[in-house]
Structure 1
Amino acid sequence: MEPRAEKGQEGDSGRITAQLLKAKTGEFALESILLLRLPGLGISDLGCLGECTSLEWLDLSGNAISQLGPLAALKSLTVLNLSANRICSLEPLGACESLQSLNVAGNLVGSLQQLQCLAGLRRLESLRLHDPRARLSNPVCATAAYRGALRDLLPGLKAVDGERLSGCGSELYQLCRDLDSSLEQGSGGAGSSEPPGTALPWLEEGYWEPRPPRRSSILEEAYRQFSDVLRECRELSERADDTISQAEKALSIRGDPSSYVF
């Protein structure tokens, strides 16, 4: 009952407490927590989170966090999700020397200068500032060239906003972007009856409609021979019926069964 009361208190105050962390993870010591998920709890104060010194994976998405001070103590943290919060400054994250993946989409990061603090993170490979599927972004993303600037600022990055910049798969992302651009330009070219951006079908209209069956001369001859045989069978059947009828009449005239010949 005590952890439940503390959880309700956390919902009122928005502060992370030791009781809340133990109730969520089942661990008796904060130093033993390796993975922690606290999304959508209305958290605004990270409280004692800095005491989870062994933490490697942390999800704080969908809260009301604006200050990241306690995270500076998490030297083992490798994956961090801070999407959909109220964060302006990422300065404390500069001390998270093991950080490899960072998601801060849906916050208030307004300039590349605010990302300068991440330049010392040699292991950082993935950074997300914009998430179109979840409709999350940052003011800095309004500048079309921000991804290119991130390459210069953080040369170790392999992926930005979920797209590969280098390594396996990066050529495919570039190819898809080039293909999209070509299709957009082609659809709006001279002589095109379709408005720009309208996708044209790859196959002609009626391609999948069934064609009338085509009969070869061999097939026609087979049908003809089959019809002839069928007609002959009918004629033989009629003759057989006549013969049987005549035989029945002839037998019915004789009253002596011993005279029947088989």
Structure 2
Amino acid sequence: MEPWAEKGEAGETVRVTAQLLKAKTGEFDLESILLLKLRGLGISDLGCLGECASLEWLDLSGNAISQLGPLATLKSLAVLNLSANRVCSLEPLGACENLQRLDVAGNLLSSLQQLQCLAGLRRLESLRLHDPRGRLTNPVCASGAYRGALAELLPALKAIDGQRLSGRGSELYQLCRDLDSSLERGGGAGSPEPPGMALPWVEEGYWEWRPARRSSIAEEAYRQFSAALRECRELSQRADDTISQAERALSLRSDPSSYVF
């Protein structure tokens, strides 16, 4: 067992200790730690993590964390990854006033009321509850309308589950969604008859292959290259002839003493 792992009454558990934090960061002063990665260590108790007062980036993904109490003191925390844990309450995070990005995909959050505590976080821009790539979700995501309700609950959000809600690019995203919806409605029963043959988007012959035009510069370069290639071939032939003559001359000398070194 590692020196920072502690065994409790219910069996072996991993608790965050000063020794663990120093071993992971190389910092002896916990208040000097700015970035901390504690992914997949089996942590179930955050222990003294709240003493890292200057912490700005924290990755606790892939553990067994259910209680977030110590995080309430992390006033400088901006990025927090709690994916793949056992969290069912985010209440302590309401005190993390500088939090900007939060990932809680793969936990036990079952209702929007459990997210109400984040309403006071004015800098929170990105919230992830569902991650299809990692097959991580929360019970609250079972309702397809949770994103819209979450956007109303937390109007400062710019992205939910990686999808932009406001800012650059959001208008195009909404336009595409509206277009998809209109196409789906238009394909149902009772829809009006489609118009005549659709006009092409480009002029006729746009996609036909056309031979590339060769400029005078390209023509001159091609001519010079051909000349250089012919010259190389001539030099190669001369070299072969010279080698053949030398080999014939050497073969005519039967007396080894006639060789000059």
TM over 0.5: yes
Give how far 1:166 is off. Answer: 0.4
In the alignment, what sits opposite 2:25? 25
Q: State the partner residue of 1:46.
A: 46
- Give 1 or 2 for the bigger CA radius of gyration: 1
**Which stretch shows the higher mean deviation, 56-65 or 164-173?**
164-173
Q: Is the alpha carbon distance of 1:6 and 1:180 closer, same or farther for their aligned partners in structure 2, counting shifts above 3 Å?
A: farther
Q: Output one character per residue of 1:150-170: Cα deviation in whole Å (capped at 9) or x when no partner.
A: 122111111111010000111
CA offset digits 1:126-155 (Å, max 9, x no partner):
111111111111111111211111122111
What percent of counterpart residues are identical? 80
Point out the more displaced range, 73-82 or 147-156.
147-156
1:92 aligns with 2:92: yes
Task: Using structure 1 for the length normalisation, give the TM-score.
Answer: 0.66
| Higher strand residue share | 2
* Structure-to-structure mapping, 1:105-116, within 5 angstroms: 105-116=105-116
Q: Which residue of 1 aligns with 2:126?
A: 126
Aligned counterparts of 2:18 and 2:65: Cα–Cα separation in 1: 18
Deviates more, 1:83-92 or 1:12-21: 12-21
SS in structure 2 at match of 1:84:
coil
Q: Which runs of 5+ in 1 are unaligned?
A: 191-210, 212-262
1:179 Cα offset (Å): 5.1
Which runs of no fewer than 5 residues in structure 2 stay unpaired?
Answer: 191-208, 210-261
Q: Which amino acid aligns with 2:3?
A: E
Shift of 1:171: 1.9
CA distance in 1: counterparts of 2:183 and 2:134, whole angstroms: 26
| Number of aligned positions between the proteins | 190
Q: Secondary structure at the match of 2:15?
A: coil
Q: Secondary structure of 1:94's partner?
A: helix
Q: Residues 166 and 12 (structure 1 numbering): CA distance in 2 closer, same or farther, change over 3 Å?
A: same
Moved more, 132-141 or 47-56: 132-141
For the residue of structure 2 that corresponds to 1:71, the secondary structure is helix
| TM-score of the two chains, using structure 2 as the length reference | 0.66
8 Å CA contact 2:44–2:65 kept in 1: the answer is yes
Q: Structure 2 vs 1, CA of residues 143 and 21 (structure 1 numbering), >3 Å: closer, same or farther?
A: same
Q: In structure 2, the residue corresponding to 1:44 is in which secondary structure? A: strand
CA distance in 2, matches of 1:189, 1:133: 35
Q: Distance in 1 between matches of 2:135 and 2:182?
A: 26
Judging by fraction of residues, say which structure has more helix.
1
Deviation at 1:186, TM superposition (A): 7.6
